[in-house]
Amino acid sequence: MTYFDKNALKLSHGHMRDNVKEGDIAIDATAGRGRDTLLLSELVGDSGKVYAFDIQKEAIESTRALLEENGRVNVTLINESHHLMAEFVKKAKAVIFNLGFLPGGDHSIFSHSDTSIKAIDAALSIIDDDGFVSICSYYGGDTGFEERDTLLSYLENLDQKKYTVMLQSFHNRKNCPPLFIIIEKNR
């Protein structure tokens, strides 16, 4: 494995490809332009199901268009905040977060730690014992550092008897390279 041509998104997609299987239920907590939703939809296949959340109508419509272009019909799009996910989905193998703002959208609308942390708590309450939560955290620039700092301190304090948290960072890259984080339940 070499990392020079990787970034958080590629790590996240590689991790999804390795761990999300045909027939699984998966959640994209931040649909955005739909790239993660599309990949999840392909990985779970026709016998699986994907739920994708976003607070912005523009993101939901963008994701809908991408799914239609690719003939994917196993996705339910939900125009709600991800911290409410447990009201819509009771069980999932994977929950994917891509925190930040909508690419090519309004940079003043972005994820905030108060709802992100509640959403990660909700995700941990519904994932299967062999499931995972993964997070790409975009920070700096328009979104600032508050969400990243709160997230890292929350993750540091997750009970190590119950969960394993892996954090991957491109440590010597400049300009706030996004972080990739995986949370698994200990079994």
Using alpha carbons, select from 1, 3, 2 the residue that is nearest to residue 169: 3
Phi, psi angles (nearest 5°) of residue 149: -65, -45
Separation CA 98–CA 125 (nearest Å): 19
Q: At what angle do helices 35-44 and 57-69 cross, to 10 degrees?
A: 50
Q: Which residue, judged by CB position, is nearest to ligand SAM in the bound state?
A: 32
* Binding residue for ligand SAM, selected from 11, 36, 48, 49, defined by CB under 6 A: 36
What tokens does 46 get?
């026709």
**Which one of 33, 49, 93, 148 is in contact with ligand SAM (CB under 6 A)?**
33
- Part in contact with ligand SAM (CB under 6 A); list of ranges 99-107, 120-128, 161-169, 177-185: 99-107
Report the C-alpha gap between 181 and 136 in whole angstroms.
Answer: 6
Distance of CA 166 to the CA centre of its chain: 15
Q: Which is nearer to ligand SAM, 142 or 149 (CB)?
A: 142
Closer of 32 and 48 to ligand SAM (Cβ): 32
Out of 77, 102, 135, 151, the only residue in the binding site for ligand SAM (CB under 6 A) is 102
CA distance 25 to 6: 27
- Of the candidates 123, 53, 99, the one whose C-alpha atom is nearest the C-alpha of residue 63 is 53
Residue 147 engages ligand SAM in binding (rule: CB under 6 A) = no
Least distance to ligand SAM, CB of residue 35, Å: 3
Applying CB under 6 A, which part among 29-37, 125-133, 154-162, 175-183 lies near ligand SAM? Answer: 29-37
Measured between alpha carbons, how far is 27 from 118 in angstroms, rounded to an integer? 15
**Span of 16-24, 26-34, 123-131, 170-178 interacting with ligand SAM by CB under 6 A:** 26-34
Based on CB atoms, which residue is closest to ligand SAM, 102 or 155?
Answer: 102
Neighbours of 99 (CB within 10 A): 26
Binding residues among 37-76 for ligand SAM as defined by CB under 6 A: 53-56, 59
Residues in touch with ligand SAM (CB under 6 A): 30, 32-36, 53-56, 59, 81-82, 98, 100-103, 109-111, 115, 138
